[in-house]
Amino acid sequence: MKFRILVTACTCALLALAAFATQAAAQQSNTSSNAQSTSTSQLPDTTLAPLPPPTSQNFWDGDSPNFVNLVTHPFARKSYVKRLTQPIHDRLQELDQLTSANSQAIKDTDARSQQGLQLASEKVSLADTHAGDAATKAQAAGTAATDATNRVSGAEQMVAGLDQYKAGSQTEILFGPGQALLSKKAKDALDQMAGPLRNQHSYVIEVRGFAPGSGQAAIAISQKMADSVARYLVLSQNIPMYRIYVEGLGNAIVGGDSGTSKHVSRRVEVSLLQNQALAAQH
């Protein structure tokens, strides 16, 4: 019996020495690990540090130092497994949070990109609209310029052909003293001269009035008689007004007429001028 107690006491002493040695080694390991972590903590932590390998704190590894834990210590228990897997579980939660934050950042960036693309597309569409309007206006301006050029060319041709108007038929309308109305004979003479001009475009009619007297009074009377003739040609024969040139000359002497008896009479000379070059174009 004493021998058994002695053996048990020796066994317990040996186990206590082993536990003490293990605890000393664990404390030394923890000291070196703390020193290493202190030196690395000075660097900026931009990423998650890797999980450290599981290390024993001491021989009992967090268990109460008793005989039951001494017997069951080598076996994996629920609390032991939880202690080993808890850091992994915590790291997984951190990774989930980082993933969620990254996903939200990606969504925000994509939303901003889509908004920027939409804004750029709207600006491009607006620029295309402005460009289309500018092209339309430029085309209209080009057409207007072409029309203006054609009209200028036509006007130049007309001006160049002014000196080609040649005197045609001439009719003299006589008026009685104090009269400015056309007689039946005067109207017949004007109809005979203006009738063939209905479908022509290369002529002008010169209407010159003469009256006896002097100064502005004679000019006013001659102008009144010339206006009466021009009015009849426009209203009765549909002669365009822009083709009729009216002059009130009073008692002026024109041309190479000799004598004075003809120039004191109340009369209107109607001369037809035709341009053969323009007539050939029509």
> What's the CATH number where 200 sits?
3.30.1330.60
Do 209 and 246 lie in one domain? The reply is yes
Lowest mean pLDDT among 111-125, 192-206, 210-224, 264-278: 264-278
Report pTM.
0.41
Is 46's pLDDT higher than 60? no
Look at 242 and 58; give whichever has higher pLDDT: 242
Point out the domain boundary residue: 91, 126, 160.
160
What's the CA gap between 74 and 78, in Å, rounded? Answer: 13
Residue 59's domain comprises 52-160
Distance (Å, whole) CA 32 – CA 34 = 5
Tell me the CB-side half-sphere exposure of residue 169, using CA atoms within 13 A.
Answer: 11
Q: How many residues does the chain have?
A: 282
How many Cβ atoms are within 10 Å of 221's Cβ, its own excluded? 22
- The whole-number pLDDT of residue 35 equals 44
What percentage of the chain reaches a pLDDT higher than 90? 18
Classified as helix, coil or strand, 173 is: strand
257, amino acid identity: D
What is the helix, strand, coil percentage profile of the chain, to 5?
65, 10, 25
Does residue 208 have a pLDDT over 70?
yes
Q: Residue 32: pLDDT band by 50, 70, 90 thresholds?
A: very low
Percent of the chain with pLDDT over 70: 60
Task: Dump pLDDT digits (tens) for 166-193.
Answer: 777 889 999 988 888 899 999 999 999 8
Asked if 130 and 221 sit in the same domain, the reply is: no
Main-chain dihedrals φ then ψ at residue 50, nearest 5 degrees: -65, 155
Whether residues 239 and 156 fall in one domain: no
- In tens, the pLDDT along 2-21 reads 555 554 555 555 555 455 44
